[in-house]
Amino acid sequence: MLNMKSETEFSVIDGKKVEKFIFRPVDYEKDLEMLYEWMHQKHIAPFWKLNLPMAEFKEWLHKSIEAEHKDVYIGTFNGTPVCYLIAYSVKEDPIRNYYDYQKGDLGMHLLVGPRSFLNKEDGLSIIRAMIIFLFDQYGADRIIGEPDIRNRIVIPILKKLGGRVIDRIDLPQKKASLIVGGRLPVEEKLKEHGIRVEMTNKTAVPGSELV
């Protein structure tokens, strides 16, 4: 659970292209309507299954913000809110039973909210920024993802960014590709493509308690 109020801001520089990102903890009052709308989008509802009535969604969001073993964020891309990101403790989650868990692993769930940003170019930029943020914020050695096997956009992007599919697993709510992204392979991919990161502002309190 996050208690911090500050945000992390950085730029991702690819040649002459500069993309600015901000990640901040979810604010219940500020973000409720936007997240409710996102969860009812056709590209999100089948995977997250949170297209609930508002009263039930309010309860879910409140529990998510207050949860002890995960942190929840909103990410903005050049000033526009575009993504919802969950960092969670693998050692406190059933996912650790599906692979060879190692100390330093951090779990990740993600979604890109506006459908117009879920394309190969913007999707790559946004998901890359999420991973950059998580490695910086938590000091994790590896990031673990388990997207639905039907997700034909997110899985190729994670692989392009240095993630490796190590298994296909049957979770209670979905069939998933279990993906592991190590810090070194991800950093090597950034260097390979000439990508630079410039941190402008960082959250005051690190979230390393999740790893």
Alpha helices, H only, 139-169: 154-160
Percent of the chain at pLDDT above 90?
Answer: 88
Tell me the pLDDT tens digit for each residue of 57-112: 999 999 999 999 999 999 999 999 999 999 999 999 999 999 999 999 999 999 99
In this prediction, residue 119 has a pLDDT band, given cuts at 50, 70 and 90, of confident
Would you call 141 helix, strand, or coil by DSSP?
coil
Tell me what the mean pLDDT of segment 115-128 comes to: 94
Q: What is the largest CA-CA distance in the chain?
A: 47
Contact between residue 188 and residue 162 where contact means Cβ atoms under 8 Å apart: yes
How big is the chain, counted in residues? 211
Rounded alpha-carbon distances, angstroms, from residue 42 to 34, 76, 145, 174, 202: 15, 21, 22, 17, 34
Which tokens hold the place of 12?
């991702």
Tell me what the mean pLDDT of segment 142-155 comes to: 94
pTM score of the predicted model: 0.93
Task: Supply the pLDDT for residue 6.
Answer: 79
